[in-house]
Amino acid sequence: MYKIGDIIKCKITGFKEYGIFVKMDDKYNGLIHISEISDSFVQNVADYGEVGEEIYAEILQIDEDTKQIKLSIKNINYQLDGEYKEQSDKNGFLPLREHLNVWINEKLNEMNDKK
Protein backbone atom coordinates (compact mmCIF):
# COMPACT_ATOMS: atom_id res chain seq x y z
CA MET A 1 0.00 0.00 0.00
CA TYR A 2 2.58 2.59 1.12
CA LYS A 3 6.08 2.83 -0.38
CA ILE A 4 9.23 4.65 0.71
CA GLY A 5 9.42 7.95 -1.15
CA ASP A 6 5.65 8.32 -1.53
CA ILE A 7 4.11 11.68 -0.68
CA ILE A 8 0.95 11.00 1.31
CA LYS A 9 -1.81 12.91 3.07
CA CYS A 10 -1.93 12.50 6.82
CA LYS A 11 -3.69 14.13 9.76
CA ILE A 12 -1.83 15.68 12.69
CA THR A 13 -2.83 13.95 15.93
CA GLY A 14 -0.38 15.45 18.41
CA PHE A 15 2.92 17.09 19.22
CA LYS A 16 5.86 16.27 21.46
CA GLU A 17 9.06 18.31 21.73
CA TYR A 18 10.76 15.76 19.45
CA GLY A 19 8.20 15.65 16.62
CA ILE A 20 4.75 15.63 15.09
CA PHE A 21 2.47 12.59 15.35
CA VAL A 22 0.19 11.84 12.41
CA LYS A 23 -2.34 9.25 11.31
CA MET A 24 -2.60 8.01 7.73
CA ASP A 25 -5.52 5.60 8.01
CA ASP A 26 -7.05 3.09 10.45
CA LYS A 27 -3.90 0.93 10.41
CA TYR A 28 -0.89 3.24 10.12
CA ASN A 29 0.44 5.99 12.39
CA GLY A 30 3.50 8.08 11.80
CA LEU A 31 6.08 10.39 13.31
CA ILE A 32 7.72 13.38 11.70
CA HIS A 33 10.86 13.68 13.84
CA ILE A 34 12.03 17.24 14.60
CA SER A 35 15.08 16.62 12.36
CA GLU A 36 12.72 15.92 9.45
CA ILE A 37 10.66 19.12 9.83
CA SER A 38 13.09 21.71 8.52
CA ASP A 39 16.74 22.26 7.64
CA SER A 40 16.52 25.37 9.82
CA PHE A 41 16.38 25.36 13.61
CA VAL A 42 12.95 24.25 14.84
CA GLN A 43 12.06 26.11 18.03
CA ASN A 44 8.59 24.60 18.43
CA VAL A 45 7.22 21.70 16.37
CA ALA A 46 3.67 22.97 16.94
CA ASP A 47 4.50 25.96 14.72
CA TYR A 48 4.25 23.59 11.75
CA GLY A 49 0.56 22.71 12.03
CA GLU A 50 -2.42 22.13 14.28
CA VAL A 51 -4.02 18.99 15.68
CA GLY A 52 -6.62 17.83 13.16
CA GLU A 53 -4.91 19.56 10.22
CA GLU A 54 -4.22 17.48 7.12
CA ILE A 55 -0.76 17.82 5.62
CA TYR A 56 1.47 16.08 3.10
CA ALA A 57 4.51 14.08 4.21
CA GLU A 58 7.17 11.98 2.52
CA ILE A 59 7.61 8.37 3.65
CA LEU A 60 11.15 7.60 4.84
CA GLN A 61 10.70 4.22 6.51
CA ILE A 62 7.87 1.72 7.10
CA ASP A 63 7.64 -0.83 9.90
CA GLU A 64 5.00 -3.33 8.78
CA ASP A 65 5.07 -5.17 12.14
CA THR A 66 4.14 -2.12 14.23
CA LYS A 67 2.36 -0.22 11.43
CA GLN A 68 4.56 2.80 12.19
CA ILE A 69 5.86 5.09 9.45
CA LYS A 70 8.74 7.58 9.70
CA LEU A 71 7.98 10.70 7.70
CA SER A 72 9.54 13.96 6.57
CA ILE A 73 8.18 17.36 5.57
CA LYS A 74 11.44 19.26 5.23
CA ASN A 75 11.96 18.78 1.49
CA ILE A 76 8.37 19.10 0.34
CA ASN A 77 5.56 21.63 0.26
CA TYR A 78 3.71 19.96 3.13
CA GLN A 79 0.80 22.33 3.60
CA LEU A 80 -2.41 21.05 2.10
CA ASP A 81 -3.70 23.60 -0.39
CA GLY A 82 -5.15 21.41 -3.10
CA GLU A 83 -3.09 18.84 -4.96
CA TYR A 84 0.48 18.14 -3.93
CA LYS A 85 3.06 20.26 -5.75
CA GLU A 86 6.74 19.42 -5.71
CA GLN A 87 8.82 21.99 -3.85
CA SER A 88 11.34 23.63 -6.12
CA ASP A 89 14.32 23.73 -3.73
CA LYS A 90 15.61 20.48 -2.23
CA ASN A 91 19.15 21.73 -1.67
CA GLY A 92 19.07 21.74 2.13
CA PHE A 93 22.54 22.62 3.44
CA LEU A 94 24.18 22.29 0.01
CA PRO A 95 24.62 26.08 -0.51
CA LEU A 96 26.39 26.32 2.87
CA ARG A 97 28.70 23.42 2.03
CA GLU A 98 29.55 24.99 -1.33
CA HIS A 99 30.55 28.29 0.30
CA LEU A 100 32.15 27.07 3.52
CA ASN A 101 35.73 26.81 2.20
CA VAL A 102 35.50 30.28 0.68
CA TRP A 103 34.32 31.76 3.99
CA ILE A 104 37.01 29.94 5.95
CA ASN A 105 39.74 31.17 3.61
CA GLU A 106 38.41 34.74 3.74
CA LYS A 107 38.45 34.68 7.54
CA LEU A 108 41.95 33.17 7.66
CA ASN A 109 43.22 35.86 5.26
CA GLU A 110 41.55 38.52 7.39
CA MET A 111 43.19 37.15 10.54
CA ASN A 112 46.61 36.97 8.84
CA ASP A 113 46.29 40.59 7.67
CA LYS A 114 45.79 41.71 11.28
CA LYS A 115 49.12 40.18 12.42
The structural domain count of the chain equals 1
Return d(Cα 8, Cα 62) in angstroms, integer.
13
User: What's the distance, Cα to Cα, between the start and end of the chain in Å?
Assistant: 65
Global pTM reads 0.69
Does residue 43 form part of some domain?
Answer: yes
User: What are the tens digits of pLDDT across the range 68-105?
Assistant: 999 999 988 777 665 544 544 455 556 666 777 888 88
| Among 74, 97, 68, CA closest to 87 | 74
* Higher local confidence (pLDDT), 107 or 95: 107
Which alpha helices (DSSP H) does 1-115 contain, by range? 94-113
Position 108 pLDDT exceeds 60: yes
Return d(Cα 66, Cα 105) in angstroms, integer.
50
Does residue 55 form part of some domain?
Answer: yes
In this prediction, residue 98 carries a pLDDT of: 73
Q: Once rounded to an integer, what is the mean pLDDT over residues 22-45?
A: 93
C-alpha dihedral sign at 91, 86, 61, 71: positive
| CATH at 65 | 2.40.50.140
Contacts of 38 (CB under 8 A, 6+ apart): 48, 73, 74
Does residue 19 form part of some domain?
Answer: yes
